């Protein structure tokens, strides 16, 4: 259910391209068929290898790279090329950092009034341009389908009036500058500059920093009991504007954009101050939090904190500023600690810490952000958190064509509030092709549930289970910005090739004499099972069952 939690980010999430590239084409459901499709024989090729030879390059620090074209064909590395994949794998094997890992403890930034805050032991990776938070390939829409004013600048409509909206205006700038660098016309750069100019015009120079106010009232979570009165401020707006100015400076080389970035970063060094603009707070546990809704009762929105962190990371990436590095490390430590309260094991993650509401769309955003943090730091625990969030609740909630196998099936009806109302055990005489209208969680029931819209069980919900009830094609697909280390078990291992809709097209078997290291390029679910895509070795470009690989 879509909540009214996040005015700032609701417009952002659907189009943002994170380092975690959501797999292109994977998850598209095929056209429904009237009868179950006959089983098709999948071509099989049996390969026997001497893994000591196959993986000798890995032990030498030069990962064996093969099958990049297969990865792109499968759809789990959209647009990948051999050299790009080789660079990513090299980064995975030997993560380098312009600066040494932080020492876990506390940091105080001298020359500022920001209180001391906790830092962890993360390493900040100066990733390649294609791995940065807002990297994109190809061209973005030049004119998004949103309201804009006479100058062509995007605006926000509310109550019959239009307003400047700093996140809405800032978030498109890195997309347009990237499109310009990717071969788009001058109009892309002009559009980015026009939006950057609007940010400079509407920004406030105060506290020796540059802030971007919201000049309209807003009821947080759609609840008048939690009002944000104009002017109000947001760390997410500060972070998005910071990334925007960095992108404009990188693209144009004009000093004014670097100056704007410097002034915006300064806002991250200004502590909470009642009656004055603020967006950064050190809480009673010493955690540095970037507040999306800065007010008397901070909301502690998780996604806004991390989008702000991405902005400071971009600034550090550009400048190497040691203060920015400390701020990023502080934000990372706050993420590590507070994610325990954001995560809901077996359920949809919470949007914020204060009001503890949940939202399906932002659960999806959280997943992307956690994998992005893995790319930026190389810390495997962020990737494992991304895995856990996907396992807790589906990233993809849409339905599509699927199958219900013959046998006994638990069928559940729900009431108007979405609560389970009745349960019966149905006998399905023969396997049937059906249309599922949705894929989600049911209150009080474990697992993922599918709403049946056709067939003998239409109007009920059935649990998604391998070999019992499943959607066709792939779901919950993500591509890792930084390939992950895995270990294949000894024995015969089988990998599967898939088309862009996630249907198997071929399989290969490999006899492995001992546990063997590999890199993993992505993950997805298919027919209720989780698969990882192998990036190198004899199964390169193929998907393997998660049960057959140990993931770091």
Integer Cα distance of 250 and 505 in angstroms: 43
Integer Cα distance of 41 and 503 in angstroms: 13
The answer to whether residues 124 and 328 touch, using CB atoms and an 8 Å cutoff, is yes
Domain 134-321: assigned CATH number = 1.50.10.20
Q: What is the pTM of this model?
A: 0.84
The DSSP line for 334-389 is HHHHHHHHH--TTSPPBSBSSS--B-HHHHHHHHHHHHHHHHHH--HHHHHHHHHH
The model's pLDDT over 19-49, given as tens digits with 9 standing for 90+, comes to 333 222 222 222 333 333 333 333 433 333 3
SS (H, E, C) 62-86: CCCCCCHHHHHHHCCCCCCCHHHHH
| pLDDT at residue number 159 | 85
- Distance set, CA 22 to CA 6, 172, 278, 481 (Å): 22, 18, 34, 10
Residue 70 has pLDDT above 80, yes or no: no
Integer Cα distance of 154 and 169 in angstroms: 6
- Domain positions in the chain are 32-92+483-551, 134-321
| pLDDT at residue number 412 | 98
Cβ-based neighbour number of residue 93 at 10 Å: 18
The answer to whether residues 286 and 118 touch, using CB atoms and an 8 Å cutoff, is yes
Lowest mean pLDDT among 25-34, 67-76, 182-191: 25-34
Beta bridge partners of 529: 526
Average pLDDT of span 58-77? 30
Do β-strands 218-219 and 227-228 pair in parallel, antiparallel, or remain unpaired? Answer: antiparallel
Residue 455 has pLDDT above 70, yes or no: yes
Residue 81 has pLDDT above 50, yes or no: no
The answer to whether residues 541 and 67 touch, using CB atoms and an 8 Å cutoff, is yes
Name residue, tokens 């770091």: 552
Integer Cα distance of 428 and 421 in angstroms: 21
| pLDDT at residue number 103 | 59
Average pLDDT of span 451-473? 97
| pLDDT at residue number 369 | 98
| pLDDT at residue number 102 | 53
Helices (H), 378-513: 380-392
Residues whose CB falls within 8 Å of the CB of residue 59, separated by 6 or more in sequence, listed in order: none
Cβ-based neighbour number of residue 163 at 10 Å: 15
Greater confidence (338 vs 62) lies with 338
Name residue, tokens 């074209």: 69
The model's pLDDT over 220-275, given as tens digits with 9 standing for 90+, comes to 999 999 999 999 999 999 999 999 999 999 999 999 999 999 999 999 999 999 99
pLDDT grade for 336, boundaries at 50, 70 and 90? very high
Beta bridge partners of 504: 498
Half-sphere exposure of 424 (CA within 13 A, CB side): 8
SS (H, E, C) 390-441: HHHCCCCCEEEEEEECCEEEEEEEECCCCCEEEEEEEEECCCEEEEEEEEEC
The answer to whether residues 70 and 541 touch, using CB atoms and an 8 Å cutoff, is yes
- DSSP count for the chain of H helices, then E strands: 13, 26
- Nearest CA to 19 out of 397, 313, 323 is that of 313
Average pLDDT of span 481-510? 93
pLDDT grade for 305, boundaries at 50, 70 and 90? very high
- Nearest CA to 464 out of 397, 514, 378 is that of 397
Inter-axis angle of helices 186-202 and 235-252, nearest 10: 140
Residue 118 has pLDDT above 60, yes or no: yes
The answer to whether residues 502 and 533 touch, using CB atoms and an 8 Å cutoff, is no
- Nearest CA to 307 out of 7, 11, 12 is that of 12
pLDDT grade for 500, boundaries at 50, 70 and 90? confident
Integer Cα distance of 358 and 543 in angstroms: 32
Beta bridge partners of 117: 107
The model's pLDDT over 378-404, given as tens digits with 9 standing for 90+, comes to 999 999 999 999 999 999 999 999 999
Integer Cα distance of 57 and 540 in angstroms: 14
Q: Most distant CA pair in the chain: distance in Å?
A: 75
| pLDDT at residue number 486 | 97
Residue 346 has pLDDT above 90, yes or no: yes
pLDDT grade for 205, boundaries at 50, 70 and 90? very high
Of the chain, the end-to-end C-alpha distance in Å amounts to: 33
């Amino acid at each position: 259910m879509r909540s009214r939690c996040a005015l700032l980010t609701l417009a952002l999430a659907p189009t943002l391209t994170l380092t975690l590239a959501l797999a292109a084409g994977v998850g598209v459901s095929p056209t429904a068929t009237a009868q179950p499709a006959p089983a098709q024989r999948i071509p099989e090729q049996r390969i026997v290898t001497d893994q000591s030879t196959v993986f000798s390059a890995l032990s030498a620090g030069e990962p064996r790279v093969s099958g990049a074209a297969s990865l792109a064909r499968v759809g789990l590395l959209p647009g990948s090329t051999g050299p790009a994949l080789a660079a990513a794998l090299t980064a995975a094997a030997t993560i380098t950092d312009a600066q040494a890992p932080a020492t876990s403890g506390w940091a105080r930034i001298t020359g500022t009034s920001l209180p001391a805050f906790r830092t962890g032991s993360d390493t900040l990776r100066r990733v390649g341009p294609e791995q940065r938070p807002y990297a994109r390939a190809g061209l973005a829409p030049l004119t998004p389908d949103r309201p804009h004013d006479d100058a062509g600048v995007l605006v926000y409509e509310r109550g019959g009036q239009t307003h400047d909206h700093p996140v809405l205006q800032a978030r498109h700038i890195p997309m347009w500058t990237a499109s310009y660098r990717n071969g788009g016309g001058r109009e892309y750069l002009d559009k980015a500059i026009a939006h950057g100019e609007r940010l400079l015009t509407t920004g406030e120079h105060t506290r020796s920093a540059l802030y971007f106010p919201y000049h309209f009232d807003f009821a947080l979570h759609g609840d008048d009991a939690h009002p944000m009165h104009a002017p109000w401020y947001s760390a997410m707006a500060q972070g998005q504007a910071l990334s925007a100015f960095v992108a404009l400076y990188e693209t144009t080389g004009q000093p004014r954009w670097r100056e704007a970035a410097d002034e915006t970063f300064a806002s991250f060094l200004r502590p909470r101050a009642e009656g004055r603009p603020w967006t950064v707070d050190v809480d009673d546990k010493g955690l540095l939090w970037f507040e999306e809704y800065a007010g008397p009762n901070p909301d502690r929105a998780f996604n806004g904190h991390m989008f702000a962190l991405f902005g400071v990371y971009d600034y550090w990436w550009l400048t190497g500023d040691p203060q920015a590095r400390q701020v990023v490390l502080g934000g990372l430590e706050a993420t590590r600690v507070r994610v325990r309260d954001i995560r809901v094991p077996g359920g949809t993650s919470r949007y914020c810490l204060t009001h503890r509401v949940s939202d399906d769309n932002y659960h999806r955003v959280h997943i992307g952000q956690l994998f992005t943090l893995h790319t930026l730091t190389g810390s495997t625990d962020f990737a494992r958190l991304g895995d856990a969030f996907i396992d807790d609740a589906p990233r993809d909630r849409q339905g599509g064509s699927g199958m219900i196998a013959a046998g006994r099936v638990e069928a559940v009806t729900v009431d108007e509030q979405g609560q389970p109302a009745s349960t019966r055990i149905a006998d399905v005489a023969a396997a049937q092709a059906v249309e599922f209208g949705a894929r989600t969680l049911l209150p009080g029931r474990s697992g993922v549930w599918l709403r049946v819209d056709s067939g003998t069980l239409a109007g009920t919900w059935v649990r998604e289970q391998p070999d019992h009830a499943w959607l066709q094609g792939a779901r919950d697909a993500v591509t890792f910005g930084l390939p992950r280390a895995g270990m294949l078990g000894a024995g015969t291992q089988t990998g599967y090739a898939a088309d862009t809709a996630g249907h198997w097209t071929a399989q290969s078997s490999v006899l492995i004499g001992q546990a063997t290291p590999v890199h993993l390029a992505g993950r997805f679910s298919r027919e209720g099972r989780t698969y990882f895509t192998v990036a190198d070795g004899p199964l390169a470009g193929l998907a393997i069952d998660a049960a057959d690989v140990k993931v770091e």
